[in-house]
Amino acid sequence: MSNTLPTLAVLGGTGHEGSGIAFRAALAGCKVVVGSRAAARAAARAAELNAQAGSNHVSGAGLIEAAQQAQVVVLAVPYAAQVATAEQVRPALEGKVLIDVTVPLKPPKVSLVQLPPEGSCVKALQDRLGTGVRVVSAFQNVSAHALMNPNKPVDCDVLVCADDPEAKTIVRDLVTKMGLVAIDAGPLANSVVSETLTSVLIHLNKTYKVPASGIRISGLR
């Protein structure tokens, strides 16, 4: 595992999942830049995250500035904004690892799997951005609620899918340093499994009246 921590930009870091990832990364000692369509909103969220994490590792910026400042970029916006947000920052992503956490949910029926015609939306984003951006799929099955709870370790595994082996290793290292278990789940096309599982987890949360169900892979340890 690498000893160095990358600077992380979290586009959509003002929201639920992005804040949770920023929070755990800050706790791990990463420098984090929250990216938002409104730089002031990003700065305000960064201040809250620093207060919660007891750190000064988090700052805020506009989307492009955030991506420019980072070595690894996280895309954590709703599915409807996934492609437009990635394309807006595309020049700042060249050669970088992009962790896409997007799930192709179509509200209001979010507990029903409704894949787009192309299948995995993360694989579709890689095809759209080209191989100059090293897209990695992760975190689709980790709830924001679990990430933001400072009193509990996150009790679930993170499926990590990528076509670029080095990019996958960088993300698995990062996930591990954030205190979660990273599982190599194969090529980016396998992200379709993570993306569909999320609706099942949302269904479980409703059915069993729990805030944050997750997954554990057995037989590996």
Cβ 3 to ligand NAP shortest distance, Å: 29
**Residue from 14, 126, 191, 213 that binds ligand NAP (CB under 6 A)?**
14
Binding of ligand NAP at residue 47 (CB under 6 A)? no
Q: Distance between CA 22 and CA 181 in Å, rounded?
A: 17
Using CB under 6 A as the binding rule, whether residue 78 contacts ligand NAP is answered as yes
What is the nearest approach in angstroms of ligand NAP to the Cβ of residue 164? Answer: 21
Residue 125's nearest CA partner among 195, 38, 25 is 195
Q: Going edge to edge, which strands form the sheet with 97-100?
A: 58-62, 32-36, 8-11, 72-75, 97-100, 134-137, 157-162, 181-184
Q: Would you give the distance in Å from CA 133 to the centre of its chain?
A: 16
Cis-peptide into 108, omega within 30 deg: yes
Q: Which C-beta is closer to ligand NAP: that of 110 or that of 189?
A: 110
Q: Does 73 bind ligand NAP (CB under 6 A)?
A: no
Position 199 contacts ligand NAP (CB under 6 A): no
How far is the C-alpha of 74 from the C-alpha of 6, rounded, in Å?
A: 12
- Tell which positions 112-151 bind ligand NAP, by CB under 6 A: 139-140, 143-144
Considering the complex, state which of residue 95 and residue 107 has its C-beta at the smaller distance from ligand NAP. 107
Pick the binder of ligand NAP from 53, 65, 98, 102 (CB under 6 A): 102
Is the Cβ of residue 152 or residue 221 nearer to ligand NAP in the bound state? 152
CA gap 147, 8 in Å, rounded: 16
Query: Of residues 5, 27, 73, 105, which one binds ligand NAP by CB under 6 A?
Result: 105
Instruction: Tell which residue, 168, 150, 159, has the closest CA to residue 27.
Output: 150
How buried is residue 4: exposed, middle or buried, by Cβ count under 10 Å (0-12/13-18/19+)? exposed
Does residue 76 touch ligand NAP according to CB under 6 A? yes
Tell which residue, 71, 70, 8, 10, has the closest CA to residue 41: 10
Q: How many residues of this chain bind ligand NAP (CB under 6 A)? A: 26
Interface with ligand NAP (CB under 6 A): 12, 14-18, 36-38, 41, 76-81, 85, 101-103, 105, 139-140, 143-144, 198
